[in-house]
A and B are shown apart, each in its own frame.
Chain A
Amino acid sequence: MRGNSVKSLSTKIVLSIILVSIFVFLIIFAIFEKSNKEAFYDIEIEKANIIARTIEPLIALNIYLDMKDNINKIALQLIENPNILAVKVLKNNVVINDIKSNKYKNAVNDSFIVKNLIFQPNSKKKIGTLVLVYSNKNYKDLTDKFTKLMAILLFFLAVLFLLLGLYIKELLSPLRKIAYSLKDYSPNKKIDISFVSQNNEIGLISNALNNMQEKISQYSKKQQDINHYLEEQVDKKTLELRKQLYTNTLTKLPNRLSLLNNIKIVGNNGALLIINVDDFREINDFFGHITGDHVLNIFSSRLNEMFEQEDDIMLNHLSGDEFSLLFKKKPSIKEFTKIAKKLVRDVEKMIFFHENNELAIRITIGGVYQIEKALEKADIALKSAKKQQKSFLLYDEDQNIEELFKENMECVKLLKKAIKEDKIVPYFQPIFDNVTNKIVSCESLIRLIDENNNVISPVNFLIVAKKSRLYSNLTKIMIKKSCLYFEHVNCDFSVNLSVEDILDNETVDYIKHQIKKYNVAKKIIFEILESEGIEEYIEISVFIREMKALGCRIAIDDFGSGYSNFEHILQLNIDYLKIDGSLIKNIDTDTNAQIIIGTIVDFASKLKVLTIAEYVHNEAVSNKVKELNIDRSQGFYLAKPMREIKTLLSHQ
């Protein structure tokens, strides 16, 4: 209540008036006190001076006439003045008269001293000094009276302002009452505001508030109707949007968001299959999006038909060509796998018709037999299945694919740091001629030096580099460092290039620039990896042609590991075929490998392409390689990759 009182406008006004008036009064009091006291002081001093000035000629005359008695008489007369405490007359700085009153001792500390020079009558010659000790009693009396008067005045003014404040507060009290009554105002509750009869501003305010109440009440009723209508509309729309939020707009099946919600609801007792339509992009590309959408619609309907009887299985359409089946209750693992595989087979049998087109689709399924991070794991399984070209793959918890991803992330960090700190270096492995047993060239192999100066093999980072788009950086580093190294070394050297490198114009331009810069065109051999299969023969052919024009040579690396078209490769005008290590490593015992290699060597020799055996890791293999007429050998049995090869070359 006290808090409210202080916050009220009337109290604030009253307090403000009091504070301002106190402030103003204090200032006025201080100024008056100071100025009047100074004035009183000046008056008293002036009075003393007037006395001194008045008496001075008489004293002067008596000094002049040497009438000391008269001086004494004058002094005695002066001292009769109650304000004069002492009179001292000096003639040429010698005291000739010094009279003090009875009050002198008690009052001397609070007195003024007035000095007046005495001049010879009818001349300006100084003949003495008159000193008056003048009591300040009058001054004190005056100032005391003045202070009392001011205090009384201030007191009455303060009372006056207080009364004024109270009067203002009283005047404003209706406003406060109105404010209190308005506190509980609501459009549905009419408040009776009195003071309407008052013929002043408060009366006007009361009238205005009453009118306002009427209008607000009318407006509120209208507003309530509108709100009611809007709320209904919003509810409808919300329902619609909610439905849209959890529904795929094309197939009207529950979408990914719905799946995520359902996974949460299912708890631990669930399993998930993610179904992806293989090469669906091609359907869109060849037949158009309308056909694609049509196929998806029919496919979703058929899936729905297949599982609509199953209460524990929920079908969702996750994205364009991706669907899911969420099992609310786990079937047995066998049943789960069976359902997935059956689904693959059933879909393979489906035929879709659209505008005289007969279409068939295949699907790949990734499954997870537990519900924690089910979507991610099923997705990993799906990708693995695609990679392994399997129609169904179940996520294997033991493979710890998730951990592998984390490691990959760390690997990317390590790679980036190594590139930044120039820790990517080439190691050189010699390649020997199988007839002369001499080094004919060296292969530049990439290595990473870690923080502890350990040499890291590319097996550990090359795949991650490809995925993280750092591969082209590594290729450029290897090209530059190898070219720099062999600039002044009289030996051929080979550098590995992936198909991606060759397809990247920027990398190709960089290679050309480095070759020219270090003048190594005649020494360099590009080893194009065949292991992942070469499909872009035209682009690779252009690259080979350009490089050959510069004087470079070309080798196909890991030949026999991929599934490239053998005939096409041989038409690429290459210089070397490096036979894949998987064929070589057991060549001394594997008769099938011997037959394949024999065929490769035969073809190659007809095309005048030199063959190189990799992975020559023991004497038996080495001997067999030579026996099979492979031209060159490379492997740990002959020489390991090394940081420096110049010494080895110089000893040949």
Chain B
Amino acid sequence: MKKIIFLYLILTNLAYGYNYDELLLKAQASIFPKIMLLDKKIEDKLINGKVIYTIIYDKSDFYTALEIKNIIDSNYNGYFDKYKYKILLVDFLDFSNQTEASAIYVLNSDKYIKKAAKIAQEKGIIAFSYGIKNLEKGLLFTLMLEKSTVLYINKESLYTLKVDFVDTLLQMVRFIDKSDAKNKTIYNNKPLWENITQIVSNKYIAVIYN
């Protein structure tokens, strides 16, 4: 019964929300907080002594955002290294300059990516993106699973933010500009059935393993 309800939710999600790669979500959920800590100015971004990791989502992706939160909590158990953290789930519509955030993780959206990127730049915080294409809209960082795990960084955004990453990170990331982002093939451009198959299989695997 539980599996049926879960499948229903998924399918609902598929019907109304964006498509996400479960494995990629997990990878990003585990790596992005660590990358956030590679910012030498992380101390400046603490809010009440805590790291606020804000997940920006479209209304239809609430559950995806919630799942990401759950993954992070299970991985980090309340602490990013020595810092206490708090995860906020914020709808694109609610996201503003007043929203508390030490870094943001932006899920897919057709309309609000630029807005989120702009606010992040204004706040001077790191903006992680689920999709690589969103980097062309001003988000800073993403991670893709190719032959190996590859980190991408938006070269243009890097210098406008109040971010100072450790040098080695910059040695291993791939810098990307707008044209690169357009040419990048990502699963979102795959035929739908392929995506569904992949997502289902991934979810299935995840469920089985959980």
Q: Do A and B come from one complex?
A: yes
The interface bits of chain A over 97-133 (1 if a CB of B lies within 8 angstroms of the residue's CB, else 0) are 0000000000000000000000001110000000000
CB neighbours (8 Å) of A61 from chain B are 38, 166, 168-169, 172
A435 adjacent to chain B (CB < 8 Å): no
A40-59, CB < 8 A from B: 57-58
Distance, CA A123 to CA B81, complexed state (A): 10
The interface bits of chain B over 20-61 (1 if a CB of A lies within 8 angstroms of the residue's CB, else 0) are 000000000011001101111000000000000000000000
**Closest chain B residue to A61 by CB distance?**
B168
Distance, CA A58 to CA B151, complexed state (A): 14
B149 adjacent to chain A (CB < 8 Å): yes
The answer on a CB contact under 8 Å between A122 and B34 is no
Distance, CA A70 to CA B31, complexed state (A): 14
Distance, CA A60 to CA B169, complexed state (A): 10
Given contact pairs A61-B166, A61-B168, A66 touches B30 in the complex (Cβ within 8 A): yes
Distance, CA A122 to CA B31, complexed state (A): 15
The answer on a CB contact under 8 Å between A67 and B149 is yes
The answer on a CB contact under 8 Å between B149 and A122 is no
B171 adjacent to chain A (CB < 8 Å): yes
A384 to chain B, nearest CB (A): 136
CB neighbours (8 Å) of B169 from chain A are 61, 121
Determine which of A62, A70, A121 lies in contact with B166 in the assembled complex, contact meaning CB atoms within 8 Å.
Answer: A121
B121-156, CB < 8 A from A: 147-149
A265 adjacent to chain B (CB < 8 Å): no
The answer on a CB contact under 8 Å between A67 and B148 is yes
CB neighbours (8 Å) of A123 from chain B are 81
The answer on a CB contact under 8 Å between A69 and B148 is yes
The answer on a CB contact under 8 Å between A62 and B34 is no
Q: Which of B35, B39, B149 has the most CB atoms of chain A within a 10 A radius of its CB? A: B149
A73 adjacent to chain B (CB < 8 Å): yes
Distance, CA A327 to CA B208, complexed state (A): 159
A500 to chain B, nearest CB (A): 130
The answer on a CB contact under 8 Å between A58 and B172 is yes
B110 adjacent to chain A (CB < 8 Å): no
Q: Which of A61, A62, A69, A123 has the most CB atoms of chain B within a 10 A radius of its CB? A: A61
The answer on a CB contact under 8 Å between B30 and A70 is no
The answer on a CB contact under 8 Å between A122 and B37 is yes
The answer on a CB contact under 8 Å between A65 and B34 is yes
The answer on a CB contact under 8 Å between B148 and A70 is yes
Q: A61-B38, A73-B148, A122-B38 are in contact. List 19 more A-B contacts (CB 8 A).
A: A57-B168, A58-B171, A58-B172, A60-B168, A61-B168, A61-B172, A64-B34, A64-B38, A65-B35, A65-B149, A67-B148, A69-B147, A69-B148, A69-B149, A121-B169, A122-B39, A122-B40, A122-B166, A123-B81
Chain A residues with CB under 8 Å of chain B are: 57-58, 60-62, 64-67, 69-70, 73, 121-123
Chain B residues with CB under 8 Å of chain A are: 30-31, 34-35, 37-40, 81, 147-149, 166-169, 171-172
For the complex of A and B, the 5 pairs showing the least CB-CB separation, nearest first, are: A69-B148, A57-B168, A121-B166, A61-B168, A122-B166
Can you identify 20 A-B contacts, CB atoms within 8 angstroms?
A57-B166, A57-B167, A57-B168, A58-B168, A61-B166, A61-B169, A61-B172, A62-B172, A64-B34, A64-B38, A67-B148, A69-B147, A70-B149, A73-B148, A121-B166, A121-B169, A122-B37, A122-B38, A122-B39, A122-B166
